Structure 1
Amino acid sequence: MRPWLVTAVTVGLLTVGTATAAAAEDQLVLDHGHIDAFAVSWDGSALDLQLREDVTGDHVPHAPEDVLLQVRSESALELPDPVPPSLEFLGQPGDTVYYLPQTQDPNLIWPGWSTEGIPGGVFTNPLRIQVTDVTGPGDVFLWQTGSFGESISVLGGGFQLPGTLSPNVGVHAHANWAFSEQGTYSFTVQASGDLAGGGTATSTARTYAFQVGEAAEPAPATTLSVTGLADHYHSGDVATLTAVQDPVTELDHYHWFTRAPGSDEWVIVPDVGGDEYSFTATARHNGLAIIARLYDHDHNVVAESEPVTVVVDDHGEPEPPEPATQDIEVTLPADTGALVVAVDPADRRVTMSDLELSATGDRLVSTGDLRTVTVTDTRSTAPGWVVSAQVGDFAGEAETLRGGSLGWTPVVAEQPAGAGVTAGQAVASGFTGGDGIAAASTLASAAPGSGIGTSRLGAGLVIEAPTSLTPGTYTGTITFTVI
């Protein structure tokens, strides 16, 4: 285990930004050596933020987006028992962090910062390096170790990103930092400073990529094949073809296409969206080519099968006569449809919990759940809709509890894929002021162009009442409206 006491007194930071599971083909991967991750410079009119490294050469500059900073798996460090008090912010005994020390380890990257590219007298000290939009599977910690092993913040207080560094001009610095989980991390960095002659200069915001541990291998691409094709069919035989994924994914949306002999055009088979396609063979199917395509949730093609060709051979026998048929046609006019809000008549009573004294002792509190409210929109124009509700006062045997005592937190329990239904805002009980649900409040809504189909809505309910309320049962009615 590496010692926690680091005697160097320079301060620094590694920046991390957007990274993929594997580096892009044109992205430089650095997994060891000295790196000025934040290299701030002044060209006479503007601040610039670059990454400079001494791995492929001497102070080689790069756009931060062109570099993936790799922390090797051997940086893993198990926190001791007990964790030193100065490092308790990193976690509990036995937790693993991925640690880059303040002093250089030749087997790991040694990232820091530099403002040596800024001439004196241009800016007033200190400068600012702002680290924002930090994302990743865990937490990122940055700190300096003092001469006696104490942890010193480099962010103006605290040890966890996001935060702001405040270096002076002409600084070259390094620090400890640690990641709590393996994976890809990202954040945005921007440098700024106050000009000595007045005004402020700000660099372009840059993104940095950092991979902790080994990058996950991308999942193999799915291929699609069609099985079930017989060597040949006779007229009247039923052919059943099956689309097979390799490897199998959770996707299950397909379209089948046919191409007539001598044609270059693929025609979609209507009303077939699953992994099987069945048809009754006739002489006209002879030479018909068939493919299947697999689609993702955004209806993008994920995989396409190789064509298979149907052979129909009746061995010289005449084709059976065409059966007598009739076509049945039904139309749903474009301007028809309906918008309906409903509740189940057999499930329309909400039984709240008994009112009990709250933990604060200043009110009585009861909770419960709204019964399911169903909204169905079959209007082809999809103009959108809003479901709102309003409750009256709660009538009791001896007194009335005002409807404003009821508050809620709406939820969308179920909706069709892509329906775009959103829950309304939570409304607090009006116990300490306000109308609660006694004022019309939105349960859910769908913007124009969305909301088609059937959605099921609900809400968590809370009633807050004064401690002077007379014992008994109180009943109120909530009315739902859709427009």
Structure 2
Amino acid sequence: MLRTRARPWLVVATAVALVTTGAATTAMAEDQLVLDHGHIDAFTLTWTDNKLDLQLQEDVTGSHVLHAPEDVLLKVKPEAAFELPDPVPPALSFLGEPGEVIHHLPQTQDPNLIWPGWSTERIPGGVFTNPLRIDITEVTGPGNVFLWQTGAVGNPISVLNGGGYQLPGTISPNVGVHAHAEWAFSEQGAYTFTVVASGTLAGGGTATSVERAYTFQVGDVGEESPTTSLSVTGLADHYHSGDVVTLTAVQDPVTDLDHYHWFTRAAGTTEWQIVPDAGGARYSFTASAQHDGLAVIARLYDHDHNVVAESEPVTVVVDDHGEEPPPAASQEIEATLAENAGALVISVDPDDWRVLMSDLELGTSGDRWVSSGDLRPVMVTDTRSAAPGWTVSAQVGDFTAGAETLRGGSLGWTPVVAQQAEGAGVVAGPSVPSGFSGGDGLSAVSVLASAEPGTGFGSSELGAGLVIEAPTTLRPGTYTATITFTVI
């Protein structure tokens, strides 16, 4: 991530790219295409020859290339593995228990992973009444699959009819929608989705696509984890306060795996707690009377952070025989953070700075070209102890395609705060409509997000939904403009 040193104001720029030429082509019969990264509209609805179809659209091998879903394998790489924290946020408790590993595809694009979503942008206006339906009728695989979106304050939002987060389920988008979401798979292995699309025709009746099959390969299923058992050695019959307890995890047979986590359970409790910063085969601590009855286990993990083996619990006994604990000495440690310490930093990922908008298509009103997309993540980090607050604003220049020009005011947005530190208090700026029907759009300085004095600390991820509205007299071409962000 590109970082800029603290100054009274900081500027970082990214580009918005708009493609208006070229028609998407349907993939011909071919060997199964493996996609393990990039922008993918997995559930893309099309309307051709008065027939509704469900296809997969991707921007990996080209721009908006269509495939039959059966011809594509969507690979969720091992890098998507994520260990659930302790505690798991209550709103995300549906994902599992602390320490469990899921494979997670984020709503905001990670360029190293696939970014699947859905699109109804190829459906012409006036053919259907809203909403359409994408029915994921069956999911087969080794575990559970979850689908949801994250709101501006970090809480999950259901995208399925009737609420809930687990597939199977039904997504009901309107015509002209392009969306992405959070995905989570609870186990490694191959998953198959059975999916069908349908909608109510404006002239009466319904249209339904044929059933389609989608395949996700999650994790590195080609490698089997070694079979081994785990035990904990080094436990004494009992300890006195002040003794050092040293426990060692032992594999049988020994493998090349060396990633461990240790967990403890206090006497009289039922919940295991992970030991911070204990990732090796040895775990040591100084015994005290409070450790009497403490249960300890070790877990061994493979390279994808899956649990390979877990030890039986061992119980620590601390018995001081009624004696007072040995005398102890202490020292006070002091560190000072100066009032003027810290910095205000704004940045964009140098490998994720180009916004690829959808192709311009005739809007439902028939009087303008319309394109949509999402701003790439903008990161703001404020480590200033005084927390004076900040404002991020942006302004876009004109779009150009050779000698052709589209004014920057054609661009509008709806800002969001994708992530922020707990209690940071960052607020998204107001929506700015395209200036097509009057107004300046984003050609005038507009607020992306702000934090009042006393707030805005830590790191915040900002984004926005973008829309371009252009006159129907616009000449074909690929139009680009630069949007510049300023934090004060």
Fold shared, TM-score > 0.5 on shorter chain: no
Please report the TM-score for the alignment, with normalisation by the length of structure 1: 0.40
Greater radius of gyration (CA): 1
Please report the TM-score for the alignment, with normalisation by the length of structure 2: 0.39
Q: Which structure features the higher share of strand residues?
A: 2
Task: Considering Cα pairs closer than 8 Å and 6+ residues apart, tell me whether 1 or 2 has the greater RCO.
Answer: 2
